[in-house]
Chains A and B, each alone.
Chain A
Amino acid sequence: MSIEWHSDALTSSDTIDFPIPEAYSYRAGLYDVSGIPHNQFNGIYEFVGGASNCAWQDFYDYRTETYEELIQQESLYEIDLEGELVDSTFNYSVVVSLEDDTNTDNIMLELFVAEDSILALWSACDSWHLTRNVARAYLTMGEENQLPITINTAGESQIFSGSFIISDGWDESKVKLIAVVQNWGDIDEDGNSTYEIFQANSGQIFNIPLDRDYDGVANLEDNCPDEPNPYQEDIDGDMIGDVCDPCNDLVYVPGNVNGDANEGYQPIIDLFDILFLADYIEQPVITNDCQVLDILEDETINNWDLIVLTDLVMNGGN
Chain B
Amino acid sequence: MIKLLFNLTSRFFIIIFGPFLLAQQLNEHDIAYNELREVVETASRSQQVVWLEDFTGID
Contact = CB atoms under 8 A, between A and B. Distances in A.
Interface of A: 1-7, 9-12, 15-16, 18, 24, 27-28, 31, 33, 36-43, 67, 70-71, 73-78, 99-100, 118, 120-123, 131, 134, 180, 197-201, 254-255, 281-284, 295-297, 302-304, 307-308, 310-312, 314-315
Contact of B55 (A7, A16, A131, A312): A7
Contacts of B32: 284
A120 B53 contact: no
Contacts of A310: 13
Interface of B: 2-3, 5-7, 9-10, 13-14, 17, 21, 24-25, 29-30, 32-33, 41-42, 44-59
13 contacts: A1-B52, A2-B52, A4-B56, A5-B54, A42-B51, A74-B48, A76-B45, A78-B46, A121-B58, A295-B2, A307-B14, A308-B5, A311-B6
B2 A312 contact: yes
Chain A binding surface SS class: mixed
Instruction: Tell me what chain B mostly uses at the interface: helix, strand, loop, or mixed.
Output: mixed
B19 to A, nearest CB: 11
B13 to A, nearest CB: 5
Given A71-B50, A75-B45, A297-B2, A40 B55 contact: yes
From B5, B17, B21, B55, residue with most partner A Cβ within 10 Å: B55
Contacts of B13: 307, 310-311
A314 B9 contact: yes
B30 to A, nearest CB: 8
Contacts of B50: 1, 41-42, 67, 70-71
